[in-house]
């Protein structure tokens, strides 16, 4: 199998997007559209659960939203004026269909479905306790502990049980749930992952990013606040604050790479922040060069910012083929070797004989940068200077962004100069933490009033990593996704 994704041999993958709507005759169709807009948050699986008052209907599929949720035969049975949906980046394999969210369970109060963006950091610990108490898990997702904690809760209402369950979990969660003629959205007290409220006519909508509101023509109302639970009912939206307040720690990598550039996140345009990071990079690490070229698509806004600040012309010197699937079945080693060319090709005329500044958002393992630098040299570049619009990624994310374990991160193992040697660039520089904070509108990184999680760069993890405290658990957690039947 020829893979075009740098993370294919990793185990934990929990990048996700969520959507929920109550009170619209086309709830499932609007959910499918919303999920399509959130496809960048997870391409490997999608699911929709629709509720026709107390009748639930669902469809889950491996693959992309457009391929699985456009047929009349799939959509017509998803009846009801309430629906939630989820896109997920999951490991491949037929058995994992049962991991595709929203998860569904029957309680004595009726059906309940749940979609989760984020990652729980004590899920394995809770799972062990729940299994000892007799709970039978049917998926290998961290999210399923919430359902069992609800089942074993003594709370009187679905809301009480959900609150009871969520008070026991640690980690990052932006959730959408559907139960008892309500759609519920909840954001963890640190607000690590985004979640927004919108309105379409008389209908309330909850979703991961504003781009999912745009696609259905809904208006942005506001962000769901960290620690807030919003309950969409037939009579309007209720807001609850069931958790101990915490210092807000929104994931700064959402701005750098993960969120869509046309989304407004926490009141700020993602695109604008990326351009500002590019400007900071140009100020911090200038190069005398002929052309600024982004690694598409992730490097484009930062490269625009770099070019604007430096006055060096911007060119699309690398063209991305958008029709590359995540994997590509390949029979021979020779063709497998062509790997990177499937996705990117040098636009030779704008590179040949030039001193090039290449801009990308991050270096994880270094595979992409190494191949792109080589490609640009082969296209005749005189010098290649790599500029990265994030600080070096030295630590893994445990809160819902897919990163390899830290031993596989290039920046964990090598100094910046050694990394430069590895990718064979003439120079390599990463925006500083200070530059990044200026770009998001802070004076700098002030530990006393931190509003962001930047653990992947600093190792400063704001939420306990209970499952990783114990070495035995650590092995079990990382192999769970692979070994469970
Ligand atoms: P690598 O080749 O391992 O150094 O990966 C770096 C490339 O992967 C960059 O071009 C990024 O745009 C992209 N990238 C960074 N983080 C992620 C992520 N969490 N999921 C998928 N792609 C990513």
The per-residue pLDDT for 97 is 84
CA of 314 to the centre of ligand 1 (A): 22
User: In this predicted model, what pLDDT tens digit does every residue of 100-118 receive, in sequence order?
Assistant: 999 999 999 999 999 999 9
**How far, in whole angstroms, is CA 272 from its chain's centroid?**
19
Given a cut of 80, is residue 13 above it in pLDDT?
Answer: no
The predicted pLDDT at position 12 comes to 44
Assigned architecture for domain 269-444: 3-Layer(aba) Sandwich (3.40)
Residue minimizing CA distance to atom 15 of ligand 1: 362
- pLDDT tier, 449 (very low <50, low <70, confident <90, very high otherwise): confident
Mean pLDDT computed over 125-138: 95
Nearest CA to ligand 1 atom 9: 362
Name the token pair of 259.
Answer: 């969120």
Residue nearest to atom 19 of ligand 1 (CA): 402
Q: How many CB atoms lie within 10 A of CB 407?
A: 8
CB of 402 within 6 A of ligand 1: the answer is yes
Q: How far is CA 481 from CA 32, 140, 393, 474, in A?
A: 27, 6, 24, 13
Confidence (pLDDT) at 480: 52
Predicted pLDDT of residue 472: 57
Atom 20 of ligand 1: nearest residue by CA position: 402
Q: If one looks up domain 2-249 in CATH, what number appears?
A: 3.60.20.10
- Please, which pLDDT band fits residue 446 given cuts at 50, 70 and 90? confident
Q: List Cβ neighbours of 7 (8 Å cut-off, separation of 6 or more).
A: 13, 364, 402, 404
Region 149-174 average pLDDT: 97
In this predicted structure, what is the pLDDT of residue 333? Answer: 54
> What is the pLDDT averaged over residues 480-485?
42
- pLDDT per position as a tens digit, 192-248: 999 999 999 999 999 999 999 999 999 999 999 999 999 999 999 999 999 999 999
Which residue puts its alpha carbon closest to atom 14 of ligand 1? 362
438: which 2 tokens?
Answer: 């200026």
Instruction: Decide whether any atom of ligand 1 lies within 6 Å of the 363 Cβ.
Output: yes
Cα-to-centroid distance, 13 and ligand 1 (Å) = 13
SS3 call for 399 = coil
CA 312, 369, 457, 140 torsion-angle sign = positive
Per-residue pLDDT at 361: 97
Evaluate: CB of 344 within 6 angstroms of ligand 1. no
Q: What is the pLDDT of residue 341?
A: 73
pLDDT at residue 476 in the model:
59
pLDDT at 68: 96
CB proximity list for 333: less than 8 A, separation 6 or greater: none
Q: Would you place residue 477 in the very low, low, confident or very high pLDDT band (cuts 50, 70, 90)? A: low
pLDDT, tens digit, 9 for 90 and up, residues 276-298: 999 999 999 999 999 999 999 99
pLDDT at 404: 86
Q: Give the model's confidence band at 441: pLDDT under 50 very low, under 70 low, under 90 confident, else very high.
A: very high
**pLDDT tens-digit profile of 182-192?**
999 999 999 99
CA–CA separation, 3 and 340 (whole Å): 9
DSSP 387: E
Pinpoint the alpha helices (H) of 42-122: 65-68, 72-75
Does the beta carbon of 298 lie inside 6 Å of ligand 1? yes
Report which ligand 1 atom has the smallest distance to the Cα of 365: 3
Q: Please give the model's pTM, rounded to 2 decimal places.
A: 0.93
Using one digit for the tens of pLDDT, what is the confidence trace for 414-432?
Answer: 999 999 999 999 999 999 9
Q: Is the CB of 193 under 6 A from ligand 1?
A: no
Residue 111 and residue 82 in contact, taking contact as beta carbons nearer than 8 Å: no
How many residues are listed for the chain in this entry? 485
Ligand 1 mutation pick, 10, 88, 257, max ligand atoms within 8 A of CB: 257
Ligand 1 centroid distance, CA of 467 (Å): 25
- How much distance in Å is there from the Cα of 157 to the middle of ligand 1? 42
Q: Choose which residue among 89, 259, 368, 373 to substitute to test ligand 1 binding: the one with the highest number of ligand atoms within 8 A of its C-beta.
A: 368
Burial (Cβ within 10 Å: 0-12, 13-18, ≥19) of residue 355: middle
Annotated domain spans of the chain: 2-249, 269-444
Instruction: For ligand 1, pick from 4, 6, 43, 320 the residue to mutate: most ligand atoms within 8 Å of CB.
Output: 6
By percentage, how much of the chain surpasses pLDDT 90? 80
Ligand 1 within 6 A of 409 CB? no
Q: Which two tokens stand for residue 33?
A: 């559209």
Nearest CA to ligand 1 atom 5: 364
Residue 10 near ligand 1, beta carbon < 6 Å = no
- Output the six-digit token pair for 456: 């992947």
| pLDDT at site 331 | 47
CA 390 to centroid of ligand 1, rounded, Å: 11
pLDDT in tens, 296-320: 999 999 999 999 999 999 999 999 9
Q: Is the pLDDT at 412 greater than 90, yes or no? A: yes
Q: Is the pLDDT of residue 483 over 70?
A: no
Q: What is the pLDDT of residues 361-407, one digit of tens each?
A: 999 999 899 999 999 999 999 999 999 999 999 999 999 998 888 99
**What end-to-end distance do the CA atoms of the chain give, in Å?**
23
CA 7 – ligand 1 centroid, Å: 8
| Residues classed as catalytic | 16
Q: How much distance in Å is there from the Cα of 362 to the middle of ligand 1? A: 6
Q: 47, 37, 89, 97: which is closest to 68 by C-alpha?
A: 47
What is the pLDDT averaged over residues 133-148?
94
2 against 250, higher pLDDT: 250
CA 369 to centroid of ligand 1, rounded, Å: 10
Q: Is 404 in the pocket of ligand 1 (CB under 6 A)?
A: no
Q: Does ligand 1 come within 6 angstroms of the Cβ of 434?
A: no
What share of the chain in percent tops pLDDT 70?
89
Decide whether any atom of ligand 1 lies within 6 Å of the 366 Cβ: yes
pLDDT at 469: 83
CB count, 10 Å around CB of 143? Answer: 26
């Amino acid at each position: 199998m020829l893979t075009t994704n740098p993370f294919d041999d990793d185990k934990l993958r929990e990048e996700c997007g969520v959507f929920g709507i109550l009170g619209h005759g086309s709830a499932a169709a609007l959910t499918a559209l919303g999920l399509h807009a959130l496809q960048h948050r997870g391409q490997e699986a999608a699911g929709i659960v629709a509720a026709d008052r107390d009748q639930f209907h669902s469809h889950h599929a491996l693959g992309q939203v457009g391929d699985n949720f456009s047929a009349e035969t799939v959509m017509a049975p998803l009846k009801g004026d309430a629906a939630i949906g989820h896109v997920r980046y999951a490991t491949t394999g037929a058995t994992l269909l049962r991991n595709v969210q929203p998860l569904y369970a029957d309680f004595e109060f009726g059906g309940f479905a749940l979609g989760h963006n984020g990652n729980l950091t004590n899920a394995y610990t809770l799972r062990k306790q729940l299994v000892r108490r007799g709970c039978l898990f049917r998926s290998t997702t961290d999210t399923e502990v919430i359902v069992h904690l609800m089942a074993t809760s003594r709370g009187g209402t679905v809301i009480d049980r959900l609150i009871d369950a969520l008070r026991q979990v640690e980690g990052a969660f932006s959730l959408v749930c559907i139960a008892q003629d309500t759609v519920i959205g909840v954001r963890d007290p640190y607000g690590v992952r985004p979640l927004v409220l919108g309105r379409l006519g008389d209908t309330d909508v909850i979703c991961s990013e504003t781009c999912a509101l745009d696609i259905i023509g809904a208006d942005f109302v506001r962000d769901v606040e960290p620690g807030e639970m919003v309950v969409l009912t037939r009579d309007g939206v209720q807001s609850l604050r069931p958790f101990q307040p915490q210092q807000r720690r929104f994931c700064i990598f959402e701005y750098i790479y993960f969120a869509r550039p046309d989304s407004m996140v926490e009141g700020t345009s993602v695109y604008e922040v990326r351009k500002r990071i590019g400007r900071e990079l140009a100020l911090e690490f200038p190069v005398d060069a002929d052309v600024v070229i982004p690694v598409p698509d992730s490097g484009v806004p930062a490269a625009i910012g770099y070019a604007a600040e430096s006055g060096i012309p911007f060119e699309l010197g690398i063209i991305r083929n958008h029709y590359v699937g995540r994997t590509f079945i390949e029979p021979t080693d020779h063709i497998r070797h062509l790997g990177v060319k499937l996705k990117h090709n040098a636009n030779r005329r704008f590179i040949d004989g030039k001193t090039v500044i290449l801009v990308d958002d991050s270096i994880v393992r270094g595979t992409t940068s190494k191949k792109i630098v080589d490609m640009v040299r082969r296209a005749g570049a005189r010098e290649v200077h790599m500029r990265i619009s994030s600080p070096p990624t030295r630590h893994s994310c445990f809160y819902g962004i897919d990163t390899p374990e830290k031993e596989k991160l290039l920046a964990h193992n090598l100094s910046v100069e050694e990394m430069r040697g590895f990718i064979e660039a003439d120079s390599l520089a990463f925006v500083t933490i200070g530059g990044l904070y200026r770009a998001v509108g802070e004076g700098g990184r002030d530990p006393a009033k931190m509003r962001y999680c930047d653990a992947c760069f600093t190792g400063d993890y704001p939420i306990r990593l209970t499952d990783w405290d114990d070495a035995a658990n650590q092995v079990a957690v990382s192999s769970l996704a692979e070994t469970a039947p």
